């Protein structure tokens, strides 16, 4: 499996605190069957984590990969960000101050949890108009998605892809998010499932349980698509498959 949404890059947001926590997270991910992780620190969050990309981030990723190899943990970490859609987000992506997942056409984007739906659609359309294919992080957690029955379909029609959090499937973010997450799976609107892990203690990057649940409740092929095949295609910057 490949985890496309994980706060494993240490010391930059509310995820991993230091290199040792990052190593522990990678070890947990490996035990759960993950072979690669895209590091996606929060970025462009107003009055919070700005995290414009710089050489320091690449140096940390290089050190993480070196350390994991030395510790015998068979995980490769790739560069990426979780881009908060606000302000000059599109320009900052084009300028390279914000980055896509592994330099692909696919930025991982998030909205405010109480974002107005029309604003969210407009921000997504701005990205698709500039040639990006936005992957919307945890759509099941946004108010407008569980309040408007056609919100997911609207995002897909714009050209977005949808990434569900593994925790949402078991109710970690409340009943509404759980209900919407399963509805997205039932309707075939989901394109990815990822950990959105923040630590080795809670919200961990262990994905085996999510894979098992999706395989049993939906199908093993769907689980493979969401957790392995489509994430691999993102890393390779190829067209995503639909279920």
The pLDDT value recorded for residue 243 is: 74
Which residues neighbour 179 within 8 Å (Cβ) at sequence distance 6 or greater?
146
The predicted pLDDT at position 5 comes to 98
pLDDT for 197: 98
pLDDT at 135: 98
Task: Please give the pLDDT value at position 58.
Answer: 98
> What DSSP designation does 107 have?
-
DSSP tag of 102 = G
In the prediction, which pLDDT does 212 show?
Answer: 98
Residue 53 is encoded by which pair of tokens? 């990309």
Partnered with residue 161 across adjacent β-strands are 135
Closest CA to 115 of 155, 80, 175, 163: 155
Reduce the DSSP state of residue 21 to 3 states and report it. helix
- Look up the pTM and report it: 0.97
pLDDT along the chain (243 residues), means of 10: 98 98 98 98 97 97 98 98 97 97 98 96 98 98 94 97 97 95 97 98 97 98 98 98 81
111 φ, ψ (degrees, to nearest 5): -115, 165
Q: Give the integer Cα–Cα distance in Å for 74 and 37.
A: 11
């Amino acid at each position: 499996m490949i985890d496309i949404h994980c706060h494993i890059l240490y010391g930059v947001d509310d995820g991993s605190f230091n290199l040792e926590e990052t190593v522990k997270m990678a070890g947990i991910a490996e035990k759960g069957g993950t072979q690669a992780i895209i590091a996606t620190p929060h970025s462009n969050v107003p009055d919070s984590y700005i995290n414009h990309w710089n050489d320091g981030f690449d140096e940390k990723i290089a050190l993480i990969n070196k350390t994991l190899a030395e510790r015998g943990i068979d995980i490769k970490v790739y560069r990426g960000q979780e881009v908060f859609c606000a302000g000059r987000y599109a320009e900052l992506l084009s300028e390279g101050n914000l980055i896509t997942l592994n330099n692909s056409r696919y930025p991982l984007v998030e909205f405010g949890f109480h974002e107005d739906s029309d604003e969210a659609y407009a921000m997504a359309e701005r990205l698709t108009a500039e040639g990006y294919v936005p992957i919307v992080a945890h759509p099941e957690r946004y108010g407008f998605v569980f309040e408007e029955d056609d919100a997911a379909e609207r995002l897909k029609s714009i050209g977005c892809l949808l990434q569900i959090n593994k925790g949402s499937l078991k109710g970690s973010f409340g009943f509404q998010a759980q209900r919407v997450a399963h509805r997205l799976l039932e309707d075939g609107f989901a394109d990815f499932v990822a950990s959105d892990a923040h630590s080795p203690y809670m919200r961990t990057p262990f994905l085996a349980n999510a894979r098992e649940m999706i395989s049993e409740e939906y199908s093993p092929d769907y689980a493979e698509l969401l957790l392995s095949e489509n994430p691999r295609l993102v890393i390779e910057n190829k067209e995503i498959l639909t279920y």
